[in-house]
Structure 1
Amino acid sequence: MVLETSTDSLMGETPRTLRHSKPKDESLFEMIRLGIVNHQMGLSINCLLLLALTYLFFPSLRSNTSRYFVLSYKDDQTGLYKAGFDDLYFVVLWIVVFTGLRAATMDYVLMPWARNMGIKKKKHTLRFAEQSWMIIYYSVTWPAGIYLYVTSSYYGNLPAMWADYPNVHMAPLMKLYYLIQFAFWIQQIVVVHIEERRKDHWQMFSHHIITCILMFASYGSYQTKVGHVILVVMDVVDIVLPLAKNLKYAGYPIACDIMFGVFILTWFVTRHIFFPMICWSVYRDIPVVMPGGCYDPSTRMKDSTNGGNEIWRNIVHAYKGGEGPVCFNEVLRLSYLGLLLTLQLLITVWFTMICRVAYGVLSGKGAEDSRSDDEDEGDEEEEEPQPSPVRLGKRPAQTRTGSGRLPKEEEVGVEQLRFVKRTSPPARRTKARASGISIPGHTDHKELLGRIGCDKPSGS
């Protein structure tokens, strides 16, 4: 509603910026999603209690329920483990554990910590907690992966990843590491779908799907060595980037700038040098070290030089009991290589966006990060002209109208006021400028967008 009088010169104020939230989605899917999001910890605890109580009070079912809690397929003579279908029960348990543990850690530890640090905005507090959870997880799994790699037979020797195929037996720590990582990545697919969608939702979803397919196939076809190396190469970035973002949220722009540089360097070295080296090894080393054919899993002896062209039967060999020969062929090799190159293409697109944002920071030009979990996503800035209050009395300065006459001034009573509805002008989104480095002449900075950026958020 706009207050309007018989005079036509009461609209001289500067437009005021208002925020308008997007309309809420009230669909059934959205209600289910919110129900799961708001009760992640409760649902997880109930599932875990149900399994635990079933195990304790129904001894006849322990042979079935124990597979959720302990590693399966142990060889008592060697102390090593094989792969099999029952391992998927262990993965399911850890998906539930990660769901509840993540929710509890964020709600009762990380978000209160963020508020104690002075981060006031609810969305920034949530982002800080999400990134801190990633730091906690990868600070445990990445050193574990490094330890397994340093003590392995293929340390610093990529062709050795393909030796001794099929690699049927695993050390307990390797099996635990691989299954927990598999569970984490499946749980990340759940997180991407049940929590608020970010700008890069489909890119992240594609990345997680490819990762899970590779882990499922490599575990079932006895290729855990290469899977382990890929995880070690990829995981370190997921410590550095969340740390840089949290320095931004906490209000340490200089430290964040430094960490942002470390992040770019780490990303480039691990994902555009080391990872392509693994892809090259798939292309070059496999035909030499592990030529196509069918092998006896128990003796590792080649039974036939003809590996056929089947894919599914060979990638689920371990899940189906590991009986009979397992084959490796050119179709399977090219399928693995295709998935790895698709992953490389995706992270190359991301790195291009990262470099664009970095250039914007250094040059002071506007930066639009399409990987961003935009901090203001869901809110639009809209400028609405606001009327000035009715002025009663004389104006300090007189201006002439287009007809040459002075505008008429008079005092009006409330009975002469007319209320007229005014429609809001179309929403106008504001451009975000790169931040993180103070550049003279650019005072309208917004925090460096989403996943990348180091400027102190306004209002914390």
Structure 2
Amino acid sequence: MATIESPSEGTIRKDSIHAQEGEAWKVEYANGSRRDNVLEAATCSNPGGMASTSRKNKRKDDSLMYTIRQHIVNHQLGLSINCLAFLTLTHLLFPSLRPMTTPFFTLSHLDVRTGMYHPGADDLKFVSLWIVIFTGLRAGTMDYVLTPWARSLGLHKKKTTVRFAEQAWMLVYYSVFWTLGMYLYMRSDYWADFPAMWNKTPTSAMTGLFKWYYLAQFAFWLQQIVVVNIEDRRKDHWQMFTHHIITSLLMLMSYGYYQTNVGNVVLCIMDVVDIILPAAKMMKYVGMQTACDVAFGIFIVTWFIARHVIYMAVVWSVHKDLPASMIYGCYDLNSNSRHSADGGHDVWINVLHAYRSGEHEVCFNNNIRLSFLGLLLALQGLTVAWFAMICRVAWGVLSGKPADDSRSEDEGEDEEEEEEVEEVPEVKIANKLPKAPKEEEVGVEELRFTRRSSPRTRKSKARASGISIPGHSDHKELLGRIGCDKPGS
């Protein structure tokens, strides 16, 4: 075996002086470490001559729960289709099970005498199916419609196309359901009259379209809770998770307590803002700077009017008008008559009345009123904190601070993986490394080793998040959510 010494790097050994191409070379460094196939590694190195290997240190663990969560994220469409297929085949092939499976596919609790629907426990089956449907629709639309659309618009970075597809999906959803909600609201007897929301309270009758709208919205918000917990967490995870929990509780309680009128109004108030924000972000991604600036201004004005003026008018109506229209006591749903002046003190047994049976009396008391007010004000607290951050950033931009100086280059992902470059000494043979190893007699000419230090590189961390609560992070995060700076593509 022939060896060649290098004072700075170590010793390179070739097992045979006539070794064929592809045989192993070994380098033994001064510190005692070794590396095999050095010539192969050097041949595949970058044009600068530095042979390096990249190692990504994932910030996630390899636990079972993480593996399951990633599997669900990566196969949302397939899992949704399988669930729908299983339920459909069960319904078709097993007639004896149809009384149990029918509520998944059709609206339940129809009063054939009036043609109106009522809330009931079977509605939860309908909601669960629509959670699956929304999951599949979101994944399929993003993968096969919105992502190709983003690429056709010139967006090529994976992260940017994903962000564009996410915002486009939200724009589609809210455009459809806000329009439907406004249609139902404008045709109601409480249009632009908040005290009228409580007329004939409590009443459980509703049209089939209204019932589908309300249950589908309920399913969407429950599905959003699933999304924020299975996908990579972002900086505003807990704020958004709290928001989704409060919204879902309000829908659960309002539906079970026959207060869907006010639920319809609140949804219309909130959804209009969520149309403008995704539209502004999509304009930003495709480089429509002026349109994005205009949309951002409309977004701020709409947010304030809808979520802080009109919304608080609804809250005030809950505080003042509801007790006047529905006096404390217990009521019969069939006649809406008040049987007792004592509404008791129970909350959950009443607000979940429809899910139990809907046949007993439903009572109203001060604890129930305070429960609804507490949830509504908690939701307002979140929106106030977000709006304060919006105004602070908007003021900075109006003061001359460029938006693109206040945020990182990209919106980022939840936790950007760190990439480290492992140092490997560069091997030079006759000042230039050939593409294939060249056989030479050991000792004929001297092989010299040089070493070039390879600095460690670390990717900057960023997250794509919602509007952060003040004190949570700097303004970069918010501008990534609402700003109109030029994105990478």
Q: Return the TM-score normalized by structure 1.
A: 0.81
Q: Distance in 1 between matches of 2:57 and 2:260?
A: 46
Instruction: Give the secondary-structure state (helix, strand or coil) at the position aligned to 1:52.
Output: helix
Q: Please tell me whether the aligned partners of residues 148 and 174 of structure 1 are also in contact (alpha carbons under 8 angstroms).
A: yes
| 2:109 maps to 1:79 | no
The equivalences for 1:76-225 within 5 A come to 76-225=112-261
DSSP 3-state at the match of 2:355: coil
1:373, CA displacement in angstroms?
A: 9.6
2:410 and 2:487 in contact (8 A); partners too:
no
What is the Cα deviation at residue 242 of structure 1?
Answer: 0.3
- Residue type of the partner of 1:54? T
Alignment of 1:269-280 (within 5 A): 269-280=305-316
Distance 1:38 1:379, change over 3 A: closer
Amino acid at match of 2:102: S
* Shift of residue 195, structure 1, vs aligned partner: 1.2
Would the aligned equivalents of 2:347 and 2:368 in 1 still touch at CA under 8 Å?
yes
**1:189-246 deviation digits (Å, cap 9, x = unpaired):** 0111111211111000000000000000110111111111100100011110000000
Unaligned runs of 5+ in 1: 6-18, 390-413, 433-445
The residue type paired with residue 234 of structure 1 is M
Evaluate the alpha carbon distance shift between residue 39 and residue 86 of structure 1 in structure 2; reply closer, same or farther with a 3 A threshold: same
Task: Give the drift of 1:165.
Answer: 1.2
CA offset digits 1:292-328 (Å, max 9, x no partner):
1100011000001111110011011111111111001
In structure 2, do the counterparts of structure 1 residues 383 and 279 end up closer, same or farther at CA, with 3 Å as the change threshold?
A: same
Cα distance in 2, alignment partners of residues 20 and 159 from structure 1: 63
**Residue equivalent to 1:336:** 372
The structure, 1 or 2, with the larger RCO (C-alpha pairs under 8 Å, 6+ apart) is 1
Picking from 262, 275, 299, the partner of 1:226 is 262
Query: Deviations 1:32-70 (Å, cap 9, x if unpaired)?
Result: 111001110111001101111111111111111111000
Q: Are 2:68 and 1:32 aligned?
A: yes
Q: Which amino acid aligns with 2:411?
A: D
User: How far 1:290 moved relative to its partner?
Assistant: 1.4
Aligned length: 402
CA deviation after TM superposition for structure 1 residue 354, in Å: 1.3
The offset of 1:153, in angstroms, is 1.0
For each residue in 1:135-181, what CA deviation from the matched residue of structure 2 results, as whole angstroms up to 9, or x when unmatched? 11111111110011011111111111112111111111111110000
Aligned-partner residue type, residue 375 of structure 1:
G
Contact 1:146–1:232 (8 Å) recurs in 2: yes
2:416 touches 2:461 (CA, 8 Å); kept in 1?
no
CA displacement at 1:431 relative to structure 2: 11
2:485 corresponding residue in structure 1: 455
Closer, same or farther in 2 for the Cα pair 1:259/1:381, shift >3 Å? farther
Runs of 4 or more, structure 1, over 6 Å off, are: 380-384, 414-418, 420-423
CA distance in 2, matches of 1:107, 1:187: 18
Report the equivalent of 2:473. none
Note closer, same or farther for the CA distance 1:137–1:334 as it changes in structure 2 (3 Å cut). Answer: same
Aligned-partner Cα distance in 2 for 1:200–1:282: 30
2:319 aligned with 1:289: no
Shift of 1:418: 6.7
Distance 1:22 1:231, change over 3 A: farther
CA distance in 2, matches of 1:60, 1:150: 43
Distance 2:263 2:417 in 1: 43
Contact 2:246 2:375 (C-alpha < 8 Å) held by counterparts: yes
C-alpha distance in structure 2 between counterparts of 1:154 and 1:447, whole Å: 40
What letter is aligned with 2:484? C
Indicate if the aligned counterparts of 2:345 and 2:367 stay in contact, CA closer than 8 A.
yes
Distance 2:190 2:90 in 1: 42
Find out whether 1:364 has 2:401 as its counterpart. yes
Deviation at 1:282, TM superposition (A): 1.1
> What is the CA-CA distance between 1:361 and the residue it aligns to?
2.4
The aligned runs of 1:378-457 (5 Å cut-off) are 378-379=415-416, 419=451, 424=456, 449-457=479-487
**In the TM superposition, what whole-angstrom CA distance separates every residue of 1:352-391 from its partner, at most 9, and x where no partner exists?**
1111222232221677679x9933553489999x9xx9xx
SS of the aligned residue for 1:449 comes to helix
Return the alpha-carbon distance in structure 2 between the equivalents of residues 383 and 47 of structure 1: 41
Match of 2:278 in 1: 242
Amino acid across the alignment from 1:269: I
Q: CA deviation at 1:420?
A: 8.2
The answer to whether residue 404 in structure 2 is matched with residue 374 in structure 1 is no
Q: Secondary structure at the match of 1:196?
A: coil
TM-score normalised by structure 2 residue count: 0.76
Whether contact under 8 Å (1:279, 1:340) holds in the other structure is yes
Distance 1:455 1:96 in 2: 36
Whole-angstrom CA distance in 1 between matches of 2:462 and 2:160:
20
Q: Whole-Å Cα distance in 1 between the matches of residues 193 and 407 of structure 2?
A: 37
- Measure the CA separation in 2 of the matches of 1:38 and 1:149: 38
Q: Is the 8 A contact 2:329 2:344 kept in 1?
A: yes
Displacement of 1:31: 1.1
* Offset of residue 422 of structure 1: 7.5
The structure with the largest alpha-carbon Rg is 2
> Are the aligned partners of 2:127 and 2:215 in contact in 1 as well (CA < 8 Å)?
yes
Identity %, equivalent residues = 55
SS in 1 for 2:339: strand
Match of 1:394 in 2: none
Contact 2:56 2:419 in 1 (8 A): no
Q: What residue in structure 1 maps to residue 434 of structure 2?
A: none
| Separation in 2, partners of 1:140, 1:211 | 19
Q: Check whether the contact 1:447–1:457 (CA below 8 A) recurs between aligned residues.
A: no
User: Which ranges of structure 2 fall in alignment gaps of 5 or more residues?
Assistant: 1-7, 10-53, 427-445, 464-475
